[in-house]
Amino acid sequence: MHDQGNGRWDLIIITGGPCCGKTTLLKQIEQMDLKGIKVVHEMARAYIDEQLCQGRRIEEIRGNSDRFQEEVLRRKVEVEDEILYHHPAATVMMERGLPDSIAYAVAYHCAYDPEQLSTRYAREHPEIRSRINHHLPAGDINDSDGRTLDSFHLDRVSFPQYTAVLILDELPYATDYARTESSHEAKRIHDLLYEVYRRLDTPVHLVPPLAITERVQHVLQLVGTIRNCPK
């Protein structure tokens, strides 16, 4: 929950591993055109679509993991800053947040410094930064080079404080034009996302693998409950 002089507004992250149904869920909610809700779609897929329109092949776009993940991260920072400065709706539902990039960094053996992961707004307004829970064990969040969650120096990263994070449970796995991970890699990313977000001072809610209509209603009820909770 944020209050920046214009009343309360909420930034809710919708995340999960590849093929958990995030995009389908948010497209359904967006089509409902609900008052006070703004949907922000995933930067990675938007970037892939943009590059495909320019004639590049998916193998070229995703061939260099470091370059691909850095471009996605840069766009995420820009979009989250835009949201934080202008908060375009009472509730912003964003597909993947900045902390997702840490899970992907571990999965793809990338390295970021704290500045790359930080929004300008959160640096300028420390009162809205996420705090880190140091009392939790690191869990299963390391890569083949031995990097752990602590290797990313979360104390020095300026993430905004999200109202809540909804992690969608996995659906039967299928690849598509933009999704190239194996089912094993998708499960690994899902587990890493949970380990990252549980370290932040943000409520984490797990969303079961329901049929799409039921899942939409479940998420909207959950969002309504989150918004009605004082903080």
Over residues 56-98, the pLDDT tens digits come to 999 999 888 889 989 999 999 999 999 999 887 889 999 999 9
Spatial distance between the Cα atoms of 73 and 13, rounded to a whole number of angstroms: 15
pTM of model > 0.85: yes
**pLDDT class of 177 with cuts at 50, 70, 90:** confident
Spatial distance between the Cα atoms of 125 and 108, rounded to a whole number of angstroms: 31
Question: Is the CB of residue 117 less than 8 Å from the CB of residue 98?
Answer: yes
Spatial distance between the Cα atoms of 58 and 74, rounded to a whole number of angstroms: 20
CATH code for position 203: 3.40.50.300
Return the residue matching tokens 């093929």.
19
Question: Is the CB of residue 97 less than 8 Å from the CB of residue 165?
Answer: yes
Spatial distance between the Cα atoms of 40 and 30, rounded to a whole number of angstroms: 9
Residue 206 has pLDDT above 90, yes or no: yes
pLDDT at 143: 53
3-state secondary structure of 99: coil
Q: Please give the structure tokens belonging to residue 162.
A: 């999200």
Return the residue matching tokens 């899902």.
190
pLDDT at 142: 56
Residue 135 has pLDDT above 60, yes or no: no
Number of domains present in the structure of the chain: 1
Spatial distance between the Cα atoms of 116 and 109, rounded to a whole number of angstroms: 16
Residue 116: its H or E element: helix 114-117
Range of the domain at 119: 2-228
Least confident of 58-62, 178-182, 187-191, 209-213: 178-182
Instruction: Please compute the mean of the pLDDT values over residues 193-212 and round it to a whole number.
Output: 91
Instruction: Please compute the mean of the pLDDT values over residues 155-172 and round it to a whole number.
Output: 90
Residue 40: its H or E element: strand 37-40
Question: Is the CB of residue 203 less than 8 Å from the CB of residue 165?
Answer: yes
Spatial distance between the Cα atoms of 86 and 169, rounded to a whole number of angstroms: 31
Number of other CB atoms surrounding residue 147 within 10 Å: 17
Instruction: Please compute the mean of the pLDDT values over residues 186-199 and round it to a whole number.
Output: 91
pLDDT at 5: 47
pLDDT at 148: 58
